[in-house]
Structure formats: structure tokens, C-alpha cells
Amino acid sequence: MTTTEYGLRDTVNDTVWQGGDLTDRYLNGVRGAIPLAQTQMDTMRRLIRWSQEEVALVLDLGCGDGILGQAVLDQYPAARGIFADFSTPMLAAAEKRLAGYGERVTLVQVDYGQQTWRENLTGFQKTCQVSGFDIIVSGFSIHHQPDGRKRELYAELYDLLKPGGIFVNVEHVASRSKWGEMLFEEAFVDAMVAYHRQNGNGQPREQIAHELYNRPDKAANKLTAVETQCDWLRDIGFIHVDCYLKYFELAVFAGVKPK
Ligand SMILES: C[S@@+](CC[C@H](N)C(=O)[O-])C[C@H]1O[C@@H](n2cnc3c(N)ncnc32)[C@H](O)[C@@H]1O
């Protein structure tokens, strides 16, 4: 496994993920509780299987500990993966999780909020002599960007894909109303309570709800409706764009770059 650290600019606009506490809380207390996480993963894998035969290179953007990209590497044993994140503790968690994948894995520290983030990947692609990514996945990450940057980033991902390549975003999206938001929050608290009970942690529901509503990364969320994001993907040129799974504010949406 290789790790490349690119100097992050001082202006990283969302620093909550840089801390070890949030990383630990997310990986050990939240990720396993995400409602329908297995179905999201299954949907992602099916979309990928239907669109790709041979896969050489995968990008997991905002990879956290690499859970999504790992699923893709397992699906395509000849594939190599770039796991990109701006958080040092998250990349350390990814390094641990992906230790068994050897040279198939490269960890890259980039802030994709900056337009220059791609330069680092282009260098890597040249070294590997590949022209683009077959697959780009992202999980619960891009919603920290403002709308204008989200749209720009999707266009950048389109450019990074090979013709025929697929982008799958497993994402936290906006409810259309406060009513929808409340339904989502209740469902999320229920899932967290069930997860914590299963793991022998008897925290009262009120405490779990309080921590969830006041979590540090919530303030950094800039949620956007999935319909809007799918429209952007279509405008950029992606085909087969749809929201393939949605449970309140949790969506799996995707698009394919035409051949
Ligand atoms: C909620 S975690 C999700 C991690 C993983 N993708 C998953 O599905 O569990 C969000 C991740 O996005 C990363 N992230 C957020 N903004 C980023 C940015 N501008 N550049 C790179 N990584 C970013 C965070 O450091 C964090 O690891």
C-alpha cells in the first residue's frame, strides 16, 4: 500500500473530520447503525456489475475507512483502488482496514473542495498508465460542499471517468420539508438505538437522540435534494441517471459516462 500526502491548503473549509474524536465516533458508533447500509451496498454493487465488465481502477472519494471502495475491490480482484480523503485519522483507519490489499491500494490525502485536487490523481494515473477510472464511488461525503462546488465536482468526476465508467453516490440528501426531515431523524435515532442495544451499549434513547442532533458534523452538512443532483448529472452528460434507492434522506444515485 502506498500513501501520498499532498500538502492541504490552510483553507480547508470543513475541519470537523480532521479530528480523531469524530472519526472514532463515526466509525464505531454511527457507520454500523446507518439504516439499510447493506441494501445501499448491494445497490451500489449491482449498478457497478451491470455497467462494468473489466475494472482496472476505482476511486473512493471521501473514503473514510474505505468501506465502499473495499467492497468494489472484492467484487473485482484485479482492480486497484485510490482511496481519497482529507482526514488524517480517517486515512489511518483506511490503512488499517485495507492492510491486506497490498499494492492494490493507494491512499491519497486531498481536499476535493479545492479545484486543484485532481492534479494529484492525474500524476498517479500516469504512473499506473491508466487513462481514467472505471468506477468512482463516494459515501456520505460530498454533502459537505456548497451546491455550486458539488455540481462542479460532479463535472470533474465525469472527466475523470473512462467512457462507460460509472459514478455511484451513496449520500445524505435533503428532505423536501421539515416533516420529511423529522421522519428521517426519528428513523435514524431508532436505528442507532437498535444498533447500540445489539452491541451491549445501554445508552438511553434521549441521550442517543441528543448526541445525534448535536453532532459536530451536522452543522457542516449542506444537503441538496436528490432530484436536483440527478438533474445536474444529466446536464453534465451522464446517462442512466436515477436515484436507485432512497430511505428518507439516505439515497443511492448514479450515472454512467457514455461510451
Ligand atoms: C461520513 S464520512 C463517510 C466515510 C465513508 N465514505 C463511508 O461511507 O463510511 C465522510 C468522509 O468524507 C471526508 N471528507 C469530507 N469532506 C472532504 C473533502 N473536502 N475532501 C476529502 N475528504 C472529505 C471526511 O474526512 C470523512 O472521511
Residue 41 lies in a domain: yes
pLDDT in tens, 166-178: 999 999 999 999 9
Taking the centre of ligand 1 as the mean of its atom positions, its distance from the CA of residue 92, in whole angstroms, is: 13
Q: Mutate which of 11, 58, 65, 85 to test ligand 1's pocket (most atoms within 8 Å of Cβ)?
A: 85
Q: Is 26 in the pocket of ligand 1 (CB under 6 A)?
A: yes
Max intra-chain CA distance, the chain: 54
Q: Is 117 in the pocket of ligand 1 (CB under 6 A)?
A: no
Domain coverage including residue 73 = 2-174+223-256
pLDDT in tens, 4-45: 654 343 334 456 777 778 898 899 888 999 999 999 999 999
Residue 184 lies in a domain: no
Residue 193 lies in a domain: no
Considering only CA atoms, give the Rg of the chain: 18
4 in helix, strand or coil?
A: strand
* Ligand 1 atom closest to residue 17's alpha carbon, by position in its atom list: 25
Residue 161 lies in a domain: yes
Q: Is 63 in the pocket of ligand 1 (CB under 6 A)?
A: yes
Residue 218 lies in a domain: no
Q: Is 253 in the pocket of ligand 1 (CB under 6 A)?
A: no
User: In the prediction, which pLDDT does 121 show?
Assistant: 76
State residue 106 phi and psi, 5-degree precision.
Answer: -125, 130
pLDDT in tens, 34-50: 999 999 999 999 999 99
Residue 56 has pLDDT above 80, yes or no: yes
Helices 67-75, 37-51: inter-axial angle, 10-degree rounding = 40
Residue 198 lies in a domain: no
Consecutive H or E run containing 137:
strand 133-139
What average pLDDT does this structure show over 206-219?
85
Q: In what order do the strands lie in the sheet with 133-139?
A: 2-5, 105-109, 80-85, 57-61, 133-139, 161-172, 250-256, 239-247
User: In the prediction, which pLDDT does 3 show?
Assistant: 66
* CATH code, domain carrying 99: 3.40.50.150
φ/ψ region of 240 (left if φ > 0, alpha if ψ in -120 to 50, else beta) reads left
Taking the centre of ligand 1 as the mean of its atom positions, its distance from the CA of residue 8, in whole angstroms, is: 15
Residue 75 lies in a domain: yes
Confidence of residue 219 (pLDDT cuts 50, 70, 90): confident
Residues 6+ apart with CB under 8 A from 146: 222
The amino acid occupying position 33 is A
User: In the prediction, which pLDDT does 103 show?
Assistant: 96
Q: Is 252 in the pocket of ligand 1 (CB under 6 A)?
A: no
User: In the prediction, which pLDDT does 7 show?
Assistant: 38
pLDDT in tens, 74-109: 999 999 999 999 999 999 999 999 999 999 999 999
The count of structural domains within the chain is 1
User: In the prediction, which pLDDT does 9 show?
Assistant: 36
pLDDT in tens, 123-164: 666 655 567 999 999 999 999 999 999 999 999 999 999 999
What is the sign, positive or negative, of the torsion defined by CA atoms of 75, 77, 78, 82?
A: positive
Residue 88 lies in a domain: yes
Taking the centre of ligand 1 as the mean of its atom positions, its distance from the CA of residue 141, in whole angstroms, is: 4
* Ligand 1 atom closest to residue 18's alpha carbon, by position in its atom list: 25
* Ligand 1 atom closest to residue 217's alpha carbon, by position in its atom list: 1
* Ligand 1 atom closest to residue 112's alpha carbon, by position in its atom list: 20
